[in-house]
Structure 1
Amino acid sequence: MNRIQFLQHLKLDYPDAASAAPRRKFRGGFAVKTKIEPAGVDKRTVEIIFSRGLPEEPIVFVDGPADSPHRYRDGNLCMWFPYDPPEARWCRPDGPTALLGHIAAHLIKEEHYRQTGEWPGVEAPHRRSLPHTEWHE
């Protein structure tokens, strides 16, 4: 799915979504912003960045509380292990609605963590040798 198709599909389910210039650090790709309201979580603004170097690995920033064991140092979400099989992570052909579903699920898990101190679900090992940004500890 290319950029234009991604944006067209995104607008079908999220009409307020807008294309945005990626943050300076991620020049050469494209970004979109929209709002989501996962069950049990306040409405959040989501910024999804596709960098030119790693178009299959979106970088996702979300406003609101950031205390989570599954965020990179710069605050972007760590939703899956980048080398997981396709069925365990988002892939471009899945489309924007599936990506926003992954983001919503991650935010629900973060909220659960903030309330209980426990992360629900599977956790990948944390190492520094992974791509696109500094790995969290």
Structure 2
Amino acid sequence: MGTALTALFEDPQRAIDRLMGTHAGIVVDRAWAPRIGGYVLDLTLFPPPELDAAGYDEERARISVREHGEPLTFPLGPERRWKHRYPSPLGVGFGYICGQLCLWLPTDPRPLKWVPEDGLENYVDRVHRHLFLEEHWRRMGHWATEDAPHGAPTSNHLSNGSATDTFPITSRPLLRAVRMWEHHHRTHT
């Protein structure tokens, strides 16, 4: 477990120092507590060495951490195409704010989504990775890794499940990884 989100409210500078001290390529440019509550971080995220060598520029993002609920993340910078970003004010039926990155869906299996117990560093890691996957998609026309499932729940022929399956994982390796994670956490908690 990383830094709890509550630590950001209790001692913001310590949480920010820990984030930048443990994660290469992440700089907190600005941090503040808005009058409406919560905490906001503006980040610059530098590309990993391989992507830097390929000419990728740094990415910028704003993370709004609320005292209750999941953080919201918005890319900063010029207008660009996005594969996984909520375009509508209602956020594709989930009530999210316009322009927020779609990092996972509420119906995704646990290993494919972040929860507060994972900590601030894990959340920022997901944002960092996601922004560079988006840039790869813009340049190459495909997602660089196996893409997480998206869309409405469907039956999954690989899961030996029924029509009530809640996520459409279509590849055996990802399905195996999800099951291994679930088995590990069931037997170790």
Change (3 A) 1:75 1:6: farther
Q: 1:124 aligns with which of 150, 155, 158?
A: 150
Alignment partners' CA distance in 1, 2:112 and 2:71: 15
Corresponding residue number in structure 1 for 2:158: none
Q: Does 1:20 align with 2:9?
A: no
Alignment partners' CA distance in 2, 1:6 and 1:68: 34
Q: 2:66 aligns with which of 51, 73, 80?
A: 51
Find the structure with the greater CA-based Rg.
2
Residue 6 of structure 1, CA deviation: 7.7
Residue 126 of structure 1, CA deviation: 6.0
| Cα deviation digits, residues 13-63 of structure 1 (max 9, x gap) | 3275242245x9xx33321222211332422222111235xx332110122
The CA RMSD over aligned residues, in Å, is: 2.8
SS of 1:104's equivalent? helix
Alignment partners' CA distance in 2, 1:76 and 1:87: 21
The 10-residue stretch of structure 1 (55-64 or 6-15) with the greater mean CA deviation from structure 2: 6-15
- State the identity %: 28
Residue 103 of structure 1, CA deviation: 0.7
Larger RCO, structures 1/2 (Cα 8 Å, 6+ apart) = 1
Alignment partners' CA distance in 1, 2:141 and 2:150: 17
